[in-house]
């Protein structure tokens, strides 16, 4: 079997939720990488490993640190591994969404100027975490995890 045929067969075996989880994971990887690129990350020279004293801003909006970027990269890797099965993809999206909901609540509850802001987070991060939480949970719950339901929906 040629490599192109293998890819074609593999893509037919993937479920919609696996494809969605893969795309979400790739976005996390890209965000993690972007956080280490001067220009995409403003005040790059002021990036700390962790904590509120890291003044680096991804796209000039989202406060980031080395730890924050590494977490995005790890989240992307976990997502890609999880997306190898439909069940794993659904769990990644739903549990990942729950993690972001907890992070959103944490960001709202802490004093941004305190040592509790170890990630670091700012208001833009908090609202992005809310959108990620809702979006990932909904995707995990609503996107089909099997090929039959998808094929049936296309025929209808």
Tens place of pLDDT per residue across the chain (156 aa): 455 444 444 555 899 999 999 999 999 999 999 999 999 999 999 999 988 888 999 999 999 999 999 999 999 999 999 999 999 999 999 999 999 999 999 999 988 888 888 888 889 999 999 999 999 999 999 999 886 654 555 554
Range of the domain at 53: 15-142
Residue 51 lies in a domain: yes
Residue 150 lies in a domain: no
Distance of CA 112 to the CA centre of its chain: 22
Residue 73 lies in a domain: yes
> In sequence order, what are the beta bridge partners of 122?
none
Using a 10 angstrom Cβ sphere, with 0-12 exposed, 13-18 middle and 19 or more buried, the burial of residue 12 is exposed
Dist. CA 83–CA 141, nearest whole Å: 15
pLDDT of 39 reads 95
Residue 1 lies in a domain: no
pLDDT of 139 reads 97
pLDDT of 2 reads 54
Distance of CA 132 to the CA centre of its chain: 7
Could you give the number of structural domains in the chain?
1
pLDDT of 116 reads 87
Residue 31 lies in a domain: yes
pLDDT of 154 reads 53
Q: Are the CB atoms for 144 and 15 separated by under 8 Å?
A: yes
Q: What is the pTM of this model?
A: 0.82
Residue 68 lies in a domain: yes
**117's tokens:** 């802001």
pLDDT of 69 reads 95
pLDDT of 11 reads 52
Residue 151 lies in a domain: no
pLDDT of 121 reads 86
């Amino acid at each position: 079997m040629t490599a192109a045929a293998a890819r074609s067969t593999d893509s037919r075996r993937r479920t919609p939720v696996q494809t969605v989880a893969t795309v979400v994971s790739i976005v996390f990887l890209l965000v993690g990488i972007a956080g280490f690129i001067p220009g995409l990350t403003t005040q790059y020279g002021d990036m700390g490993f962790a904590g509120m004293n890291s003044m680096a801003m991804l796209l000039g909006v989202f406060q980031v640190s080395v730890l924050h970027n590494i977490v995005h990269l790890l989240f992307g890797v976990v997502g890609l591994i999880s997306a190898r099965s439909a069940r794993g993809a659904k769990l990644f999206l739903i549990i990942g969404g729950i993690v972001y909901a907890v992070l959103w609540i944490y960001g709202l509850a802490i004093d941004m100027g305190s040592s509790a802001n170890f990630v670091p987070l700012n208001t833009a991060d908090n609202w992005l975490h809310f959108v990620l939480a809702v979006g990932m949970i909904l995707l995990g719950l609503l996107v089909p995890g099997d090929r039959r339901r998808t094929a049936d929906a296309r025929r209808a």
